[in-house]
Amino acid sequence: MKSCMYRAPGDGEYWFAIRTMDDQGRSWPQGPRTAELKVVVDTELPTITIQSATLSSDGRLDVEATVSDPNIDPSSISVACQNPSTGIWAPLSLSTPLTAGRQVSVRASAALPPGVGSVSVRVTARDSAGNPASAGRIAVAPAGVTRNIHSFPVSAHPGAGVAPPPDPYTVSSAAAPLTSPPAWQPTPPSAPAQASELWPPDNQPLAQVGPQAQRPYESAPREPFRFASKSPLAGLPLSGATPSDRQTLLVNSDRFELQYELQSVGRWGVSRVEVWGTDDGGATWRSFAIDADQRSPVNVQTPGDGLYGFTVVVQSVGGLEREPPRPGDKPDVYVQVDHTQPVATLLDVTQPQGYFADHLIFNWAASDTNLAEQPVSLLYAAQPSGPWLPVATNLPNAGRYSWRLQRHVPSRVWFRLEVRDRAGNVGVDQSRTPVEVQLNESSGQIRNIRPLE
């Protein structure tokens, strides 16, 4: 025999030694037994607690967290923040070296552009057995930091030998000379990173989202930001509420395609197709993109999350130039850009007694401003890292579900909750420890005897 199988009764450290027994019951080699192999069985996920995630008005981000696990791997601990414009996660520099132990204190910091209102932070870790864990929080800057939109004079012939104005979406608490906002560049406070290192891609996203565009994104031509009015008109709605007679589309990307239709091309054709947009309910408008090939669709990029209204302005060859939208005009379509993952919490999974002992009861909580109609999926796996198999999908957010156990379900099971919103974002939570499934075994009892002739 070259190997044998041993099923551990639970987590813990197990010692093994091999001895050969003869037919007289004597073992070889003789002498005291010492451990020749030590195996640690660990199925519990690390516990991550974010004590604080602070963002100052000058852009300094500080994160403090604690990672607890008997077998934590300090080298696996990382802290990252998310670029609100691109959704890409960028690692933060750790302020103090990590030391091995059952509980590891983590401190990280970064220097972000001043005036950033909020940023998402996450801490990830694994233990030596490979069990993964993550925790997140949103760091919010102190109140009083607002977004001011500077006004520009209207030009009847934009772009004629004049450099385009800076991005009007600057953040400040008071009016200041117009300057281009600094590029998002999370770096250690002591040494700013180079421009080529901006927000390196994250190869391990928290949740996979399918592709949404059918052709590569093409940046819009220069001169993308222009204002049709110097200032909002008094009495216009600035809340950004969507009128009931306008369609609202949802996307989870700052970059997307707008499809349009040319209803009339004029006698000599079309000279320019321009997309104008508003983020304040039509109080102010600016140019978002110019379609170079004048064929639908057109690529549009927005500054970040929010509700945007868009209108297409078509210019004819040899005709009068059409005026851009004016303050108070309603857009043709509204687009809600939503990067936020739904909040998903798997509260518990229990096995009742009695008649329903062959069922598992799932209890969860899920919330989001744009939840899908049937947003919930429940999954199970024999290991905390998967692979995950469906319990039930496309469930309503009722907070409770009863599942009749199948015979192929293992005795120790991990469960996972996934919640989707209408923009395609997915919030995930899973059980931290396995659920012990108790199944009734077949049994019998002798009641009587009868002689046979």
pLDDT of residue 399: 92
pLDDT of residue 303: 85
pLDDT of residue 393: 92
CA separation, residue 55 to residues 116, 172, 193, 266, 278 (Å)? 8, 15, 19, 53, 28
Query: Do residues 336 and 420 lie in contact, with contact meaning Cβ atoms separated by under 8 Å?
Result: no
pLDDT of residue 356: 82
CA 178 to chain centre: 33
Q: Residues in the chain with pLDDT < 50?
A: 145-183, 187-242, 244-245
Query: Do residues 432 and 44 lie in contact, with contact meaning Cβ atoms separated by under 8 Å?
Result: yes
pLDDT of residue 178: 41
Q: Do the strands 27-28 and 20-21 form a parallel or antiparallel pair, or are they unpaired?
A: antiparallel
pLDDT of residue 238: 36
Does the fold of domain 340-439 match that of domain 220-338? yes
Other Cβ atoms less than 10 A from the Cβ of 119: the count is 22
CA dihedral for 157, 162, 168, 174, sign (positive or negative)? negative
Other Cβ atoms less than 10 A from the Cβ of 206: the count is 15
Q: Is-cis flag, bond preceding 186, omega within 30? A: no
> How many angstroms separate the CA atoms of 302 and 73, rounded?
40
CA dihedral for 163, 169, 174, 179, sign (positive or negative)? negative
Q: Is-cis flag, bond preceding 331, omega within 30? A: no
pLDDT of residue 241: 43
Q: Report the CATH number of the 340-439 domain.
A: 2.60.40.10
CA separation, residue 271 to residues 61, 274, 299, 317 (Å)? 47, 10, 18, 5
The tokens for 334 are 């509204």
Q: Where are the domains of the chain?
A: 12-41, 43-147, 220-338, 340-439
3-state secondary structure of 356: helix
Report the top-level CATH class of 220-338.
Answer: mainly beta
pLDDT of residue 28: 77
pLDDT of residue 158: 38
The tokens for 55 are 């963002």
> How many angstroms separate the CA atoms of 168 and 239, rounded?
19
Q: Report the CATH number of the 43-147 domain.
A: 2.60.40.3880
Q: Which residue has the tokens 């851009």?
A: 324
pLDDT of residue 215: 38
